[in-house]
């Protein structure tokens, strides 16, 4: 219970502030613990009785007080934008204005070609992380500012703390763009931020460590793409959605502006790249009603699947995973799994957002098909997919 509360506090602080790490002093009289958080984990000290001996607390506060803002955990690549620039940015970003009053931030983004750092203005994230650990992905509609001049063209800025063993999303996007794959984000600039790496992994082999789970090193990455899309649930009609997804399965281009002509086959055939997380949340609608397959952070090259630790991890979003991946957590992800996920996207969004006659049963049916799982204590893995099998074989009629 206490650990959950502390994690919630850390999550909320990191949601409201742009941070690389966080120091915390937990007081439960007459004891205290010192905690250091970053996106890889938390290091917690032994408890100290500060009534009997206040030296550790005084020493900590003395050292903490000498740190600059970056040392205390504030991200030095993010600042509150000057008033004039903020006013201009709000005009161009009004469509995505946050529900609560938030300042406009100016963020540094590495140039794709390694030249000078570019600066973008953002006004509130589309969504915030719900955990103090992990990728902590945040996305913002934004506009570039050059020498005080604010661009009128909105772009989309994405930042995350990626696992160092994973393929950088910027590398994947650049390759997709270079090979001419359509209906994927167009990389403008970005990469890993210099010096912004987690430190928790450094205690992996410490003799005093109690935990046994291997801690992974993470790097802060930030990049910008040209397209700003809308969520899939805002599709204009079911006919357009279904026809466009059919075209995506066929792997062919279309002369019409149809939603979701994503050409997953093109990314595989031209680059040998598997998306790894085809889901409704990763399909966006552009202003011209075309679709965009977004979020390539879990993508990998099939040729790179060598059975290593990274390859043994199941990827995807549970409701849209293929039957094979749900049944077997150790199954190697293939292009067939990506393609099958499109079917479950159609079924999920059809049941949830398109008018139909299954109104009374829709909640229970969707829970059984998309959410059911059985957790095994033997290998600490979840399994599912049995209702999906019934749907495919016709044993369950919807």
CA angle 90/91/94 to nearest 5° reads 70
CB 293 within 8 A of CB 278: yes
Does 288 have pLDDT greater than 70?
A: yes
Distance CA 98, CA 57 (A): 39
Model confidence at 112, pLDDT cuts 50, 70, 90, reads low
Cα-based distances in Å from 89 to 121, 145, 153: 7, 9, 10
CB 230 within 8 A of CB 260: no
Q: What is the pLDDT of residue 256?
A: 37
Residue length, the chain? 398
Q: What is the pLDDT of residue 72?
A: 98
| pTM of the predicted protein model | 0.89
- 290 or 96: which leads in pLDDT: 96
List, as own/partner pairs, every contact residues 94-102 make where C-beta atoms lie below 8 angstroms and the sequence separation is at least 24, other chains included: 95/141, 95/154, 96/123, 96/124, 96/126, 96/141, 96/154, 96/228, 97/123, 97/124, 98/123, 98/124, 98/125, 100/124
Q: What is the pLDDT of residues 57-110, one digit of tens each?
A: 999 999 999 999 999 999 999 999 999 999 999 999 999 999 888 999 999 999
Q: What is the pLDDT of residue 114?
A: 57
Does 254 have pLDDT greater than 60?
A: no
Distance CA 292, CA 180 (A): 14
Q: What is the pLDDT of residue 251?
A: 33
Q: What is the pLDDT of residue 1?
A: 79
Q: What is the pLDDT of residues 192-236, one digit of tens each?
A: 999 999 999 999 988 888 888 889 999 999 999 999 998 888 888
- 247 or 361: which leads in pLDDT: 361
Distance CA 296, CA 363 (A): 30
Does 9 have pLDDT greater than 90?
A: yes
- Report percent pLDDT > 90 for the chain: 66
Q: What is the pLDDT of residue 380?
A: 83
Half-sphere exposure of 254 (CA within 13 A, CB side): 22
CB 72 within 8 A of CB 64: yes
- The pLDDT mean for the chain works out to 88
Does 296 have pLDDT greater than 60?
A: yes
Distance CA 268, CA 27 (A): 53
Mean pLDDT over 265-272 rounds to: 68
Phi, psi values for residue 145, rounded to 5°: -125, 130
Q: Worst-scoring range by mean pLDDT, 10-24, 165-179, 184-198, 267-281?
A: 267-281
Phi, psi values for residue 153, rounded to 5°: -100, 115
Does 347 have pLDDT greater than 70?
A: yes
Q: What is the pLDDT of residue 358?
A: 80
Q: What is the pLDDT of residues 20-63, one digit of tens each?
A: 999 999 999 999 999 999 999 999 999 999 999 999 999 999 99
Model confidence at 246, pLDDT cuts 50, 70, 90, reads low
Does 253 have pLDDT greater than 60?
A: no
Q: What is the pLDDT of residues 126-174, one digit of tens each?
A: 989 999 999 999 999 999 999 999 999 999 999 999 999 999 999 999 9
Return the HEC string of 63-102.
HHHHCCCCCCCECCCEEECCHHHHHHHHHHCHHHCCCCCC
Tell how strand 291-293 and strand 381-383 pair up. Answer: unpaired
Q: Worst-scoring range by mean pLDDT, 111-115, 151-155, 255-259, 278-282?
A: 255-259
**Residue 183 gets which letter from DSSP?**
S
């Amino acid at each position: 219970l206490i650990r959950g509360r502390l994690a919630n506090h850390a999550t909320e602080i990191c949601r409201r502030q742009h941070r690389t790490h966080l120091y915390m002093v937990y007081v439960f009289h007459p004891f205290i613990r010192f905690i250091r958080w970053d996106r890889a984990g938390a290091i917690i000290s032994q408890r100290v009785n500060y009534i009997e001996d206040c030296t550790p607390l005084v020493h900590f506060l003395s050292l903490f007080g000498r740190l600059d803002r970056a040392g205390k955990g504030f991200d030095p690549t993010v600042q509150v934008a000057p008033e004039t620039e903020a006013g201009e940015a709000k005009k161009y970003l009004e469509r995505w204005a946050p529900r609560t009053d938030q300042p406009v931030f100016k963020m540094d983004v590495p140039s794709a070609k390694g030249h000078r750092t570019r600066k973008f203005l953002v006004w509130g994230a589309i969504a915030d992380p719900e955990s103090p650990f992990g990728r902590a992905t945040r996305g913002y509609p934004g506009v570039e500012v050059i020498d005080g001049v604010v661009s009128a063209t909105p772009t989309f800025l994405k930042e995350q703390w990626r696992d160092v063993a994973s393929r950088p999303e910027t590398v994947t996007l650049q390759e997709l763009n270079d090979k001419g794959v359509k209906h994927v984000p167009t990389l403008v600039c970005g990469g890993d931020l210099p010096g912004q790496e987690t430190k928790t992994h450094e205690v992996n082999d410490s003799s005093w460590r109690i935990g046994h789970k291997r801690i992974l090193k993470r790097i802060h990455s930030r990049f910008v793409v040209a397209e700003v899309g809308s969520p899939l649930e805002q599709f204009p009609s079911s006919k357009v959605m279904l026809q466009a997804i059919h075209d995506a399965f066929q792997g062919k281009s279309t002369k019409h502006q149809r939603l979701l002509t994503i050409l997953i086959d093109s990314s595989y055939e031209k680059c040998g790249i598997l998306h790894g997380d085809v889901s409704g949340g990763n399909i966006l609608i552009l202003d011209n009603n075309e679709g965009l397959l977004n979020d390539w952070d879990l993508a990998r090259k099939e040729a790179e699947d060598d059975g290593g630790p990274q390859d043994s991890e199941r990827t995807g979003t549970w409701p849209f995973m293929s039957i094979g991946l749900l049944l077997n957590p150790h199954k190697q992800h293939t292009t067939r799994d990506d393609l099958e996920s499109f079917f479950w996207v159609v079924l999920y969004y059809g049941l949830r957002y398109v008018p139909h006659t299954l109104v009374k049963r829709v909640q229970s049916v969707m829970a059984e098909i998309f959410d059911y799982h059985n957790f095994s204590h033997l290998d600490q893995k979840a399994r599912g997919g049995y209702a999906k099998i019934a749907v495919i074989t016709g044993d369950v009629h919807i």
